[in-house]
Structure 1
Amino acid sequence: MTKPTLIGLYRLFRFELSSTAGACALLGELLALGYLPSFRQAALGFLTIFCISATALILNDFFDIETDRINAPYRPLPSGLVSKAEALLLATVVALLGFLSGWMIGVEAFALVLVVWIAGFLYNWRLKKSGIIGNLIVGFSVGMTFVFGGIMVGNPFEKIVWFLALTTMFVDLGEEIAADALDVEGDRKTGSRSLAVRFGPERAMRIAAGIFSLVIAGSAIPFVFGWLEWLYLPPIVIFDGVIIYSARRLLNPKIPDRINDIRRIYLSGSVMIVVFIIIRLAITAR
Structure 2
Amino acid sequence: MPELRGLVELTRPVNAVAAGVLTLIGAYVAGGVVDAPLAAAAAGIATVLAVGAGNAINDYFDAVIDRINAPGRPIPRGAVTERGALWFSVVLFALAVAFALTLPLLALGIAAFNLLALVAYTELFKGLPGVGNAVVAYLGGSTFLFGGAAVDGQLTTVVTLAALAALSTFTREVVKDVEDLAGDREEGLNTLPIAIGERRALLVGVACLAVAVLASPVPYVTGTLGLAYLALVVPADLVMLAAAVEGFSDPTAGQTHLKYGMFLAAAAFVVGRAVPL
Q: Same fold (TM over 0.5)?
A: yes
Q: Distance in 2 between matches of 1:36 and 1:266?
A: 28
How has the CA–CA distance of structure 1 residues 111 and 207 changed in structure 2, closer, same or farther, with 3 Å as cutoff? Answer: same
How has the CA–CA distance of structure 1 residues 190 and 140 changed in structure 2, closer, same or farther, with 3 Å as cutoff? Answer: same
The 5 A counterparts of 1:193-272 are 193-251=190-248, 255=249, 257-272=250-265
| TM-score, scaled to structure 1 | 0.90
Deviation at 1:108, TM superposition (A): 2.6
Contact 1:103 1:109 in 2 (8 A): no
Deviation at 1:283, TM superposition (A): 4.3
Q: Distance in 2 between matches of 1:208 and 1:234?
A: 25
Q: Distance in 1 between matches of 2:270 and 2:219?
A: 16
Contact 1:180 1:196 in 2 (8 A): yes
Q: Distance in 2 between matches of 1:35 and 1:179?
A: 34
Q: Which residue of 2 aligns with 1:126?
A: 124
How has the CA–CA distance of structure 1 residues 275 and 215 changed in structure 2, closer, same or farther, with 3 Å as cutoff? Answer: closer
* Alignment gaps of 5+ in structure 2: none
SS in structure 2 at match of 1:130: coil
Q: Which residue of 1 aligns with 2:138?
A: 140
Q: Which residue of 2 aligns with 1:161?
A: 158
Contact 2:53 2:89 in 1 (8 A): yes
* Alignment gaps of 5+ in structure 1: none
Query: In structure 1, what residue type is equivalent to 2:13?
Result: F
Deviation at 1:273, TM superposition (A): 2.7
1:180 aligns with 2:177: yes
Contact 1:159 1:227 in 2 (8 A): no
Q: Distance in 1 between matches of 2:268 and 2:82?
A: 38
RMSD of equivalent CA atoms: 1.9
Q: What whole-Å deviation, never above 9, does each CA across 1:198-246 have from its counterpart, x for those lacking one?
A: 2111111111111111111111111111121221112211111102222
Contact 1:56 1:124 in 2 (8 A): no
Q: Which residue of 1 aligns with 2:101?
A: 103
SS in structure 1 at match of 2:126: helix
Q: Distance in 2 between matches of 1:76 and 1:184?
A: 21
Which of 58, 61, 64 does residue 60 from structure 1 map onto? 58
Which of 74, 83, 93 does residue 85 from structure 1 map onto? 83
Deviation at 1:276, TM superposition (A): 4.2
SS in structure 2 at match of 1:78: coil
SS in structure 2 at match of 1:104: coil
Q: Distance in 1 between matches of 2:100 and 2:32?
A: 22
Which of 158, 167, 170 does residue 170 from structure 1 map onto? 167
Q: Distance in 1 between matches of 2:84 and 2:100?
A: 24
Query: In structure 2, what residue type is equivalent to 1:237?
Result: V
Contact 1:22 1:46 in 2 (8 A): yes
Q: Distance in 2 between matches of 1:35 and 1:73?
A: 41
Deviates more, 1:132-141 or 1:37-46: 37-46
How has the CA–CA distance of structure 1 residues 182 and 79 changed in structure 2, closer, same or farther, with 3 Å as cutoff? Answer: closer
Q: Which residue of 1 aligns with 2:68?
A: 70
